[in-house]
Amino acid sequence: MLNPDTVSAIKAAALAMSLWELLAVILALAYLLLAMKEHISCWYAAFISTTIYLFLFWDVSLLMESALQVFYLFMAVYGWWQWRHHADKQQDLAIHCWSVKTHLIVFATVGVLTLVFGYGLAQNTEAALPYLDSFTTWGAVITTYMVTRKVLENWIYWIVIDAASVYLYLDRGLYLTALLFMIYVVLVIVGFYQWYAIYKREQQHEHVAS
């Protein structure tokens, strides 16, 4: 039987964790909404949110998701530099598409990495849902890179990854984060159509200019 002081300490820790998770959720939403507008400040929100999630995921034994946050930190800096670099040169980084061949290579690569890392985690660690954890992690790695390069199809990738992540976070009791990713599934669909409209407009301008 736990004594009252221990119970109070656990409740206080849970409340603190929820507040940190709430802050991370708000900043993650800000990142997505700003990215949909192609606003460079999205990377600031991403950096802070990612830092919080790094510790949250480690605490609930989502090891691959925690490691992913380290990658996100670097990509937030890289994405900011990419977008800022082109703005400084007055050359917008244009939204563009990848070829079918490139997408097939990506699918195969993510599939292999999911199996290899999922098996490794299952055999050697206490990681929760190792294969799903690995899939969402490696899928997010390539998709985040696609965002930094303004690849249109990144939004379609996110639909699959975010939907899978909802189950992952529900299983680990990260209910606010699960709700965030439910909202993400809707927002990334909106984001795709927004970027697609910009893409078509830019293509028409290039056609007229040529």
What is the pLDDT, as a whole number, of residue 83?
82
How far apart are alpha carbons 207 and 183 in whole angstroms? 36
Average pLDDT over residues 75-83: 89
Note the pTM of the prediction, 2 decimals.
Answer: 0.74
Q: Tens of pLDDT along 91-107?
A: 567 889 999 999 999 99
Would you put residue 90 in left (φ > 0), alpha (ψ -120 to 50) or beta?
left
Which stretch of 4-18, 19-33, 47-61, 108-122 has the lowest confidence by average pLDDT?
4-18
What is the pLDDT, as a whole number, of residue 11?
55
Best CA proximity match to 93, nearest among 82, 104, 103: 82
- Give the tokens for residue 202: 């830019």
What is the pLDDT, as a whole number, of residue 107?
96
DSSP string for 71-109: HHHHHHHHHHHHHHHHHHTT-----B---HHHHHHHHHH
Average pLDDT over residues 162-177: 86
Q: Within 10 Å of residue 143's Cβ, how many Cβ atoms?
A: 22
What is the pLDDT, as a whole number, of residue 35?
87
Q: Tens of pLDDT along 108-137?
A: 999 999 999 999 988 988 777 889 989 998
